[in-house]
């Protein structure tokens, strides 16, 4: 009997493979599913000129905000930045390029990228600002917008559990964009709260097959950023 390869990697080494100027997908919707520890390592290594793809800009002092504060982000492809005043201010001041996408269309663009497709056709956003500059294709007599697939140089994923091969399982609403992003990058790095030996996840428990994942990083601790936000 053969075995599956072990992809567990040290945090520093996994993130070191991301070049300056990279396009980086970050999982998460608000706090749940955001790879906070991998984001800190991106900041620590000072990766510059990044294009970040994430549902939201987190809140001030959390996640994406650390990248913004350190001036590492050139462009953000996102659906909503309203909970982060720094992101809004940088956008309004022209210091940050923001491409807004309808939320489910962001998911589908990423999914298309992960599925080896060029894009998707949809009527979402027709006759709104979001349609500006997009190619219109007629399908069965009805107009649809061509939304281009998104792929990234790297995707940073937060999983609840991983096995050493990179099979991943997510917790509750921390799943969100993680499964699609884990399929849509050339280098997929998953941080996991627990890394189990092979067989630690049964085949039925796997949400993201490890064949999509390149590196598995075990979190040594769950920092406060992952915790319940008290508003």
Q: Which of 81, 162, 187, 192 binds other proteins (CB under 8 A)?
A: 81
- Under rule CB under 8 A, residue 227 binds other proteins: yes
Query: Please, which residues bridge with residue 135 across strands?
Result: none
Q: Which two tokens stand for residue 190?
A: 């998953």
Q: Which is nearer to other proteins, 47 or 54 (CB)?
A: 54
- Under rule CB under 8 A, residue 177 binds other proteins: yes
- Under rule CB under 8 A, residue 152 binds other proteins: no
Beta-carbon contacts of 141 under 8 Å, excluding residues fewer than 6 positions away, are: none
Count of positions on this chain that bind other proteins (CB under 8 A)? 53
Single out the segment in contact with other proteins by CB under 8 A; choices: 5-13, 136-144, 213-221, 222-230: 222-230
- Under rule CB under 8 A, residue 54 binds other proteins: no
- Under rule CB under 8 A, residue 204 binds other proteins: no
Q: How far is the CB of 103 from other proteins (least distance, A)?
A: 4
- Under rule CB under 8 A, residue 45 binds other proteins: no
Q: Which two tokens stand for residue 187?
A: 């280098």
Q: Which is nearer to other proteins, 15 or 182 (CB)?
A: 182
Q: Which is nearer to other proteins, 153 or 160 (CB)?
A: 160
Q: Which is nearer to other proteins, 22 or 107 (CB)?
A: 107
Q: Which of 41, 108, 147, 214 binds other proteins (CB under 8 A)?
A: 108
Q: Which of 79, 134, 206, 209 binds other proteins (CB under 8 A)?
A: 79
Q: Which of 113, 176, 187, 210 binds other proteins (CB under 8 A)?
A: 176
* DSSP code per residue over the chain: ---PPP-B--HHHHHHTSPTT-EEEE--SSSTT--HHHHHHHHHTT--SEEEE-SB---TTSTHHHHHHTT-EEEEEESB-TT-HHHHHHHHTTSSEEEE--HHHHHHHHHHHHTT-SEEEE-TTTTSGGGTTPPEEEETTEEEEEEE---EEEEEEEEEEEETT--EE--GGG-TTHHHHTTSEEEEEEEEEEEEPTTSS-GGG-SB-GGG--EEEE-S---GGGS----
Query: Binding residues for other proteins, per CB under 8 A?
Result: 29-33, 55-56, 78-83, 88, 91-92, 98, 100, 102-108, 111, 122-130, 160, 170-180, 226-231
């Amino acid at each position: 009997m053969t075995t599956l390869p072990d992809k567990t990697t040290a945090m520093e080494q996994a993130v070191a493979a991301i070049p300056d100027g990279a396009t980086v997908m970050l999982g998460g919707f608000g706090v749940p599913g955001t790879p906070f520890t991998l984001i800190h390592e991106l900041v620590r290594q000072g990766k510059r000129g990044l294009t970040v793809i994430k549902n939201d800009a987190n809140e001030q002092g959390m996640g994406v905000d650390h990248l913004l504060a350190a001036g590492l982000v050139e462009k953000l492809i996102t659906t909503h930045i309203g909970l982060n005043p720094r992101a809004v201010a940088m956008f309004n001041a022209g210091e940050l390029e923001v491409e807004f996408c309808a939320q489910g269309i962001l998911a589908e663009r990423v999914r298309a990228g992960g599925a080896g497709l060029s894009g998707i056709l949809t009527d979402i956003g027709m006759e709104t600002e979001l349609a500006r500059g997009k190619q219109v294709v007629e399908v069965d007599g009805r107009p649809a917008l061509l939304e281009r697939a998104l792929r990234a140089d790297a995707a940073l994923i937060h999983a609840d559990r991983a096995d050493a091969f990179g099979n991943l399982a997510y917790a509750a609403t921390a799943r969100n964009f993680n499964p699609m992003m884990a399929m849509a990058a050339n280098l997929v790095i998953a941080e996991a709260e627990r890394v189990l030996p092979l067989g630690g996840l049964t085949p039925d428990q796997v949400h993201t097959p490890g064949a999509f994942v390149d590196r598995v990083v075990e979190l040594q601790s769950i920092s406060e950023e992952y915790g319940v936000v008290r508003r």
